[in-house]
Amino acid sequence: MTSSLRDIIDLAELQEMMNFFYEAVRVPVGILDPDQQWLVQVGWQPICTNFHRRYPLSRQRCLQSDSNIRQHLQGDEHLTYRCPHGLEEVAFPILLNGNQLAIFFMGQFLNQPADHDFFRRQAIHYGYNLDDYLAALAQVPIISQERVEYLMRFFKRFLGLIIKIGEENMRRRLAESATQEAKEQLEVKVEERTRELNQALNEVGDLAVQLSSALSQVEQLAVTDSLTETYNRRKFDEIVLQEHTQVQSGKRPFSVIMFDIDFFKRVNDRFSHSVGDQVLQHLCRVVRGLTRHADLLIRWGGEEFLILLPSTLLDEAVPMAERIRIEVEQEAFPVAGQITISLGVAQFRSEESVDSLLKRVDAALYRAKQKGRNRVVVEADSPQKTIK
């Protein structure tokens, strides 16, 4: 489905996770893409950054070593080797469905105390400042082979889980028209992967505190639409249950607004799907600026969205819907220009189910489109049914 690590993982978040790892284990790591570009780097030693990879002659040997490693990696096994400049390194391929997305490196360390005669000769050969070079050598960590093998097992499992979760989030974004059964199956998979990630994090013991932040980020992905950064249906299911309980306890009912973009297919056909994605992102920024902190903006599917308004009566929700309609109509969207939206509004009734509420608000949205679009329509039995 994809051959790029960038498509399924937020590299900034991955860099932050690796920063946590480095603080815990103090081992330099990096991830190299198929174009030999470093996507992630953390903890690189001065002996490499200031000497080996800085001076032209020694840098050329580093680049050639990076290329040679790619050719010798087989399957999903890791490869341990000594770099041309005498440091230990380990690498393994990051795979998705048998395709290599990138290479994970752990290196710039020694298995035993340094051979100072070797490094002195090397400094003289390449023209390094000897005192500065030996000072950098003193900073290189010494890691036993047993510890290396332990870290490799952890990194393989952790990155494997992150790749799988990233792939599933991308599939969810592309499969906007999937059935409810497919949605539930996907959620089960995400929960299974999260449990596996929890188990992996528990196994690292001393790393638990550093990894807790990374786990929170992964869990947030499970309830967030990756394109628009709005919530998805899973988050709606979680919050609407709480609101339903509030209604049953005698507190004020909540309302919902459902809306979609008028003639959105024309935007995609005329300007491309990339511009269509930009329109969806811009629209969500506009709507978030008009809603309250407690309101929940959810991408329902495609260009269709839902706003859950906690403790909000219908006569409060309708003016908000109209304000959103007007602001969107007046907004200038880059490339696409002006767009409009149609909106349906409904209030939850204490005697009904959530499914019944969704059917009523969906019917209101349908009538808004039938009446010519770019308007707000209230649930069928409300005294104020259409605005505009």
Q: How many residues are listed for the chain in this entry? A: 388
Domain boundary residue among 177, 196, 222? 222
CA distance 377 to 342: 8
Specify whether 215 is located in the same domain as 308: no
Q: Which residues pair with 343 in a beta bridge?
A: 259, 376
Domain closes at, from 222, 244, 272: 222
Residues 6 or more apart whose CB falls under 8 angstroms from that of 205 comprise none
Q: What is the pLDDT along the chain (388 residues), one digit of tens a residue?
A: 555 788 788 888 889 988 988 888 888 999 988 888 889 999 999 999 999 999 999 999 988 887 777 777 777 788 888 999 999 999 988 888 878 888 899 989 999 999 999 999 999 999 999 999 999 999 999 999 999 999 989 988 888 888 888 778 777 776 765 556 667 787 778 778 777 767 766 665 556 455 445 455 556 667 889 899 999 988 888 887 777 666 666 677 899 999 999 999 999 999 999 999 999 999 999 999 999 999 999 999 899 999 999 989 999 999 999 999 999 999 999 999 999 999 999 999 878 888 999 999 999 999 999 999 999 999 876 545 555 5
Looking at the domain assignment, is residue 228 inside a domain?
A: no
For 235, other C-beta atoms within 10 Å of its C-beta total: 19
Residue 147 sits in the same domain as residue 40 = yes
Instruction: Identify how many contiguous H helices and E strands the chain contains and give both numbers.
Output: 13, 11
Q: So what's the pLDDT on residue 383?
A: 46
Q: Which one is catalytic: 89, 167, 187, 303?
A: 303
Residue 108 main-chain phi, psi, to 5 deg: 60, 45
Helical axes 314-330 vs 273-288, angle rounded to 10°: 130
Looking at the fold, whether 242 and 209 belong to one and the same domain comes out as no
Identify whether 342 is part of a domain. Answer: yes
The verdict on 61 and 97 lying in the same domain is: yes
Q: 131 in helix, strand or coil?
A: helix
227 is a domain residue:
no
Please count the structural domains in the chain: 2
Is residue 214 located within the same domain as residue 315?
A: no
Is 191 within a domain?
Answer: yes
Please tell me whether residues 165 and 299 are part of one structural domain: no
CA distance 150 to 62: 26
CATH number of the domain residue 264 falls in: 3.30.70.270
Do 187 and 255 belong together in one domain? no
Query: Which of 222, 249, 279 marks a domain boundary?
Result: 222
To the query of whether residue 13 is one of the catalytic residues in this protein, the response is no
User: Angle 374-377-382 (CA atoms, 0-180°, nearest 5)?
Assistant: 165
Do both 16 and 146 map to the same domain?
A: yes
The residues pairing with 360 across neighbouring beta strands, listed in sequence order, are: none
Lookup result for tokens 């996770």: 17
Range of the domain at 279: 233-387
3-class secondary structure per residue, 3-23: CCHHHCCCHHHHHHHHHHHHH
Its pTM stands at: 0.45
